[in-house]
Amino acid sequence: MAVTVQTLDTLAPGQKAVVKDLAVEGLERRRLMDLGILPGTVIEPELKSPLGDPTAYLVRGTLIALRREQARHIHVVPLEEEQDEH
Amino acid sequence: MNTDAVMPKAACATCSLAQNARLIKLGIETGGWDYVVALAGNPNTGKSTVFNAVTGLRQHTGNWPGKTVTRAEGGFIYDGKRYKLVDLPGTYSLLSTSVDEEIARDFILFGQPHVTVVVVDATRLERNLNLVLQILEITDRVVVCLNLMDEAERHGIKVDDRALARDLGVPVVPTVARRGEGIPELLAAIAQVASGEYATRPHRIRHLDPEVGQAVERLTREIEKTFKGLPNARWVAMRLLEGDERIIEAVRKHELGELAPAAEMASTMQPALETA
């Protein structure tokens, strides 16, 4: 089964995924890394605000709220698929 | 046998009150201090609980982030020395993106505290160490307060605090601040770092790229020339190369040295006393 890379904003609530890449540069990239979001990090959408934006993600034991604009730069692979590959 | 009569005495020698005998809590009294101590850390790690345990204040504590929006100040005497303790807002990094983070960063950077205590959540150590390493980049007078050890234990997490202290090059003190556990040891570590009795050897990340290293050196020299007596010129140089807007602005307007007084004002406008 081929690994499908999708962006974080398209992840269904409760669907765990592994971060593959941060498609941003400079301070925005640094900011995401400071929040604990790096390639290899497990991330999971936990809460959606009433209007669907922002969304709170579970990252390294803490809830981090990201706007859709930020989330769509984060490339992830859903966890089950990654396990299937091995 | 009446054990009740015996028990209190036996308990006295080991209870934290007796061990804290060298501590006098001064509440909001912060005048005439010998040392300034900053309390930093990620949101929701127990900074305010540590603050209250040491100052005797009842600064509002609560289990939600963003509670301490400006700095709160308190005082205490330990072993005859007067300390001013500054409780900073929680932050994930020293890269400022909000007013809270800016207050925390400006104080650590330009307020020149004698000791910066970084309160870390023992259950989320990996996340918390990012800030510790960033703070070690700008000051070597650091004590790590490994808080929430009871929660870590409940989750089956063991932390090798000695190995951590060795790797970081600064004292690491395990605490359960809400029960006062480890506070005497924390105070002792603060006193040792403040007086220089404990010589820290902070872990610093080496720059791999020689070109970047050269650029940092050149810029550092220029900054030191322009802003005489500025601490952490090297850190400022690295932020300039990163394109940090706030720092670029501060350099452009020649207000680098004025950042500290600005942080000072934020606290006087918001007195530390909050009724719990």
Mean pLDDT of A1-17: 88
Segments of B98-141 assigned E as strands: 115-121
| pLDDT, average across residues B50-56 | 91
Q: Assign residue A40 a region: left if phi > 0, alpha if psi is -120 to 50, beta otherwise?
A: left
Judged by CB atoms closer than 8 Å, whether chains meet at A26 and B93 is answered as no
With cut-offs at 50, 70 and 90, classify the pLDDT of residue B271: very low
Show the tokens assigned to B224.
């030191």
CB A30 to CB B242 under 8 A?
yes
Over residues B252-261, mean pLDDT: 62
Residue A54 lies in a domain: yes
A31-35, B23-27, B244-248, B268-272: which range is least confident on average? B268-272
pLDDT > 50? residue B266: no
Tokens of B223: 């900054």
Residue indicated by tokens 């971060």: A19
ipTM of the complex: 0.76
Flag whether pLDDT at A6 surpasses 80: yes
Q: Which of B57-71, B113-127, B186-200, B220-234 has the lowest mean pLDDT?
A: B57-71
Rounded alpha-carbon distances, angstroms, from residue A13 to A8, A73, A82, B13, B196 = 11, 18, 18, 53, 51
Mean pLDDT of the residues in chain B: 81
Which of A62, A63, A66, A67 to mutate to test binding with chain B, by most B CBs within 10 Å of its CB? A62
pLDDT at B200: 93
Of A26, A34, A62, the CB nearest to B243: A26
Cβ pairs bridging A and B (under 8 Å): 30
Nearest-by-CA chain B residue for A62: B124
Tally of CB atoms within 10 A around B271: 11
**What confidence tier does B105 reach under pLDDT thresholds 50, 70, 90?**
confident
Among B11-15, B80-84, B164-168, B204-208, name the one with the lowest average pLDDT: B11-15
* Cα three-residue angle B253-B258-B263, rounded to 5 degrees: 125
List of residues 6+ apart from B66 with CB closer than 8 A: B43, B89, B90, B100
What is the pLDDT, as a whole number, of residue B68?
61
Segment B127-141 mean pLDDT: 91
A66 or B260: which carries more pLDDT confidence?
Answer: A66
pLDDT band, very low/low/confident/very high, at A38 (cuts 50, 70, 90): very high
- For an interface test with B, the pick among A24, A31, A34, A58 (most B C-beta atoms closer than 10 Å) comes out as A34
pLDDT for B222 beyond 80:
yes
Tell me, yes or no, whether A14 lies in a domain: yes
- Nearest Cα neighbor of B114 from B85, B150, B71 is B85
Q: Which structural domain, as residue segments, surrounds residue A11?
A: 6-79
Residue A15 has pLDDT above 90, yes or no: yes
Say whether pLDDT at B25 is over 90. Answer: no
Q: Chain A partners of B123 at a C-beta cutoff of 8 Å?
A: 61
Q: What is the pLDDT of residue B9?
A: 42
What pLDDT was estimated at residue B115? 96
CB-based contacts of A16: which residues, under 8 Å, 6+ apart?
A: A42, A43, A44, A78, A79
Q: Kindly indicate the confidence band of residue B80, based on its pLDDT and cuts at 50, 70 and 90.
A: very high
Q: Which amino acid is at B113?
A: P
CATH code assigned at A30? 2.30.30.90
Which pTM does this prediction carry?
0.79
Q: Does A50 contact chain B (CB < 8 Å)?
A: no
pLDDT reading at B262 higher than 60 = no
Tell whether A86 is covered by a domain: no
- For the cut 90, the answer to whether the pLDDT of residue A26 exceeds it is no
- Confidence at residue B103, expressed as pLDDT on a 0 to 100 scale: 81
Residue type (1 letter), A42: V
The answer to which of B168-177, B188-197, B217-226, B243-252 has the lowest mean pLDDT is B243-252
| Number of domains within chain A | 1
Tell me whether the omega of the peptide bond preceding residue B261 falls within 30 degrees of 0, making it cis.
no
pLDDT band at A41 (very low <50, low <70, confident <90, very high): very high
A36 interface with B at CB cutoff 8 Å: yes
Whether A85 is in a domain gets the answer no
Asked if the structure places residue A1 within a domain, the reply is no
The predicted pLDDT at position B250 comes to 79
* Main-chain phi, psi angles of B258, to 5 degrees: -90, -5
State both tokens at B168.
Answer: 């970081």
